[in-house]
Chain A
Amino acid sequence: MKRRTLLLAAAAAPAAALAHHGWSSFDQDKPVYLAGRVKTVRWANPHAEVVIVVDAALTLPADLTRRSVPAQSQSVDGAAVLAKTRLPEQAAGEWTVEFAPLFRMQAWGVREAKVGERIEVVGYIAPRLGDGRLLRVEYLFADGKAYGLRSSPVS
């Protein structure tokens, strides 16, 4: 709830089904890691969203805690988030991965996801929301870069 993006999300509100809900449903104390192939892409407002298929053999990457996080979260809690990150229960299968409004995605320089590509994300899940297989992205690892879905744009 401390995120400035919350304001944006709130302003971007009249929204669509499962993808839209308050941020408070997400458990921000338990970041989780997911990686998988992109199955569908909805790169649209009120926020971008993809469905990924996570493989059954997913393990936490050994280098996760050593990965550099975007500058804007480095001084805040970037390393701590990665240190706390775990795999969710029943990681295998489809997950809906939710990003920010397009305006923010543009500010952060995140390009549109492509069907078939593999993406890695760290984020928060909302076990009691819908089928519980929805993740709100905190970090996106793609194209060899880490993107932080926080307030400050990457420079």
Chain B
Amino acid sequence: MFAPLEASALAEAIRRSVWAYPALESIHIASFGVMLGSVLVFELRLFGLAHAIQAVSLARLALGTSLAAFACAAASGLLLFVSAATEYAAHPAFRVKLVLILIAGANAIVFHARGGVRLQDGVAKLQAAASILLWLSVLAAGRLIAYL
């Protein structure tokens, strides 16, 4: 399933280019940084910091930013994945990272489905704390791909 992906002209072009791989990595890391930062800012507001800012307004800005950044991270990540698809697919840290992304995503969906931005109850705060921990774990798992 992954071998044809890795053998594709696109994958070959990414591998063989001097610049494509480091450029994609830069985009990937920058996007994830923006995402993590905007998620963190929103969650700090949820924990009661900067009361003067309306949570709903902040959510519009911060969550919009984090969604756009996630899309960039996912797109660049997909291209990096394709360049060595069979190896990444088999990599334990990569697999853990994907599972963590799914859990973090599910957590975010449940948060918004519950109306967590308006509720700001204990569950919402717990979810916010879990969110930050999950995304930091995604980051750690991602870094570990290069070291395992």
CA distance A138 to B77 in the complex (A): 31
CB pair B87 A102 closer than 8 Å = no
What number of residue pairs across chains A and B have CB atoms under 8 A from each other? 66
**How many B residues face the partner with a CB closer than 8 A?**
26
Q: Does A132 contact B (CB under 8 A)?
A: no
CA distance A13 to B21 in the complex (A): 10
CB pair A106 B18 closer than 8 Å = yes
CB pair B20 A17 closer than 8 Å = no
CB pair B87 A45 closer than 8 Å = no
CB pair B21 A46 closer than 8 Å = yes
Q: Does B16 contact A (CB under 8 A)?
A: yes
CA distance A61 to B39 in the complex (A): 59
Which residues of chain B are near A20, meaning CB under 8 Å? 145-147
Which residues of chain A are near B83, meaning CB under 8 Å? 44-45
Q: Given that A20-B145, A21-B147, A21-B148 are contacting pairs, would A12 and B87 also be in contact in the complex, using a CB cutoff of 8 Å?
A: no
CB pair B16 A43 closer than 8 Å = yes
| Cross-interface CB contact of B15 among A9, A21, A45, A103, cutoff 8 Å | A45
| Cross-interface CB contact of B145 among A13, A43, A45, A101, cutoff 8 Å | A13
Q: Given that A20-B145, A21-B148, A22-B147 are contacting pairs, would A12 and B84 also be in contact in the complex, using a CB cutoff of 8 Å?
A: no
CB pair B18 A16 closer than 8 Å = no
Query: Interface 1/0s, chain B 119-148, versus A by CB < 8 A?
Result: 000000000000000000000001101111
CB pair A102 B18 closer than 8 Å = yes
Which residues of chain A are near B146, meaning CB under 8 Å? 9-10, 12-15, 20-22, 46
Which residues of chain A are near B48, meaning CB under 8 Å? none
Q: Does A11 contact B (CB under 8 A)?
A: yes
Q: Given that A12-B25, A14-B28 are contacting pairs, would A103 and B147 also be in contact in the complex, using a CB cutoff of 8 Å?
A: no
Q: Given that A17-B87, A43-B16, A45-B15 are contacting pairs, would A12 and B21 also be in contact in the complex, using a CB cutoff of 8 Å?
A: yes
Report the minimal beta-carbon distance from B147 to chain A, rounded to whole angstroms. Answer: 5
Not counting A11-B26, A17-B90, A102-B17, a sample of 13 additional A-B residue pairs whose C-beta atoms are within 8 angstroms of each other reads: A14-B80, A15-B84, A15-B145, A16-B91, A19-B87, A20-B146, A44-B16, A45-B15, A101-B22, A102-B21, A103-B18, A103-B19, A106-B18
